[in-house]
Amino acid sequence: MKIQWIAVVGILVLMMAGCEKKSVNFGKLDKTPYDTKECINELSKGKELDPKHKIDKLVVYKKKRTLYAYRNGKVVEEFRISLGKNGDKGNKIQEGDYRTPIGSYSIVRKKCDSRLYRSLMISYPSEADKARSRAKGVSPGGYITIHGQPKWNADGRGDDYTLSCDWTEGCVAVPNRAMDKLWRAVENGVPIEIHA
């Protein structure tokens, strides 16, 4: 009985953790995915971008838990963020360390996600990241994104909670309303700097 209880707790912890894990809603698995059909349709036609609100640079300050969006050298948006569960423990070194990387990257792809509301994929790992990990004999990991909230927080009611703690596997999480703004303003190739 004790082993079964430990297994259940372990599964719940894994489901609540990270960028690619399923969410838990008051102890019950929420099986209702985000509707991705409209998102995929927008992307396939290039209709998601709004040229009037284009962002040309993103800057993250991990310590401040803030993402700044720039247009023509000026900050035009500021968003609260959550980081990897070990976001305060320095730079990302290896897969599974739950750290958010530090460095200069770019946005390489948009992804419609059924588990976490929309994602902007970051070009992590860089060659420097790979070399640092190789020197330690570990894999640098990958698939670091800026993404929205898990399904249970689709309406934003839980933003105060999700933004008060670090819960991703290394990604940068923003509220869904912020993700909507970024989705319409950021195109592939936009540089992103992530600072400590």
Assess whether pLDDT exceeds 80 at residue 91: yes
Full-prediction pTM beyond 0.95? no
Q: Which residue has the higher pLDDT, 33 or 12?
A: 33
Q: How far are the Cα atoms of 38, 76, 126, 161 from residue 167, in angstroms, in the given order? A: 27, 27, 23, 10
List the chain domain ranges.
Answer: 33-195
CATH of domain 33-195: 2.40.440.10
Contact yes or no for 173/148 (Cβ under 8 A): yes
Contact yes or no for 100/178 (Cβ under 8 A): no
What does R_g of the chain's alpha carbons equal in angstroms? 17
* Residue 186 confidence (pLDDT): 96
| 104 DSSP 8-state letter | E
β partners of residue 105: 192
Strand ranges, E, within 9-134: 24-25, 28-29, 57-61, 66-71, 74-80, 103-111, 119-122
Query: pLDDT tens digits for 112-160?
Result: 888 889 999 999 999 999 999 999 999 999 999 999 999 899 899 999 9
Query: pLDDT tens digits for 147-171?
Result: 999 989 989 999 999 999 999 999 9
